[in-house]
Amino acid sequence: MTDIRRICVYCGSSPGHDPAFMAAARTLGRLMAESKVGLVYGGGANGLMGAVATAVAEHGGDVVGVIPTFLRTRENMFRGAHELIVTADMHERKRIMFERADAFVALPGGIGTLEELVEQLTWAQLGRHRKPILLADLQGFWQPLIGVVDGMREAGFIHSSALMNYHVCATVEEILPTLRAAAAAVSEEETAGDTATVERL
């Protein structure tokens, strides 16, 4: 595990009803740019997606947008990206986003955000990667999901919970320090040779 150079941010293509979510997306984008951390995301210009991308770009940061052909119009493709990758389908989109990112952050969003987040949690549990995964639990948004996961664990359906060691932050300001600490911990374990069961993609 190397330092955090690019973060894949999953979030809604709509703004949501709480203005705090849009404000948080803009703050995250600014903090990423100021910290020289690039953005990998779904390529849209609308909602939280557009807010975080615009903030990164406006503050001099690097933006990589990855969007499938059929969503170019629906999600209003962000023209301010430094690199815009148009894919044939969602599977290719998610693969490229994974490959380009050193960590994953889930801001509030809908079914698409949830699906992408759960896929990364699944891959982590299966030992396919050790990239940090973080839930930005703004206004308690992810508490219902956290409750479901805890219930699965208690019921005996999640056995390798150590591999699915996601992080939770209540504020945007905690995100980058938490990810960096998580990446450093993984690097220490890898140096100690504790990655025999982890298959790299």
- Residues linked to residue 86 through DSSP beta bridges, in sequence order: 67
Domain of 115 in residue numbering reads as 6-188
> What's the pTM?
0.91
d(CA 63, CA 142): 26
pLDDT in tens, 158-185: 876 666 679 999 999 999 999 999 999 8
- 199 occurs within a structural domain: no
- 103 occurs within a structural domain: yes
- 200 occurs within a structural domain: no
With a cut of 70, say whether residue 195 has pLDDT above it: no
Residue 101 belongs to domain with CATH number = 3.40.50.450
pLDDT in tens, 107-156: 999 999 999 999 999 999 888 899 999 999 999 999 999 999 999 989 99
- 10 occurs within a structural domain: yes
- Total domain count for the chain? 1
- 194 occurs within a structural domain: no
- Residue 13: HSE in the Cβ half-sphere, 13 Å Cα cutoff: 16
- 1 occurs within a structural domain: no
d(CA 70, CA 92): 13
Q: Are strands 103-106 and 133-136 parallel, antiparallel or unpaired?
A: parallel
- 43 occurs within a structural domain: yes
- 138 occurs within a structural domain: yes
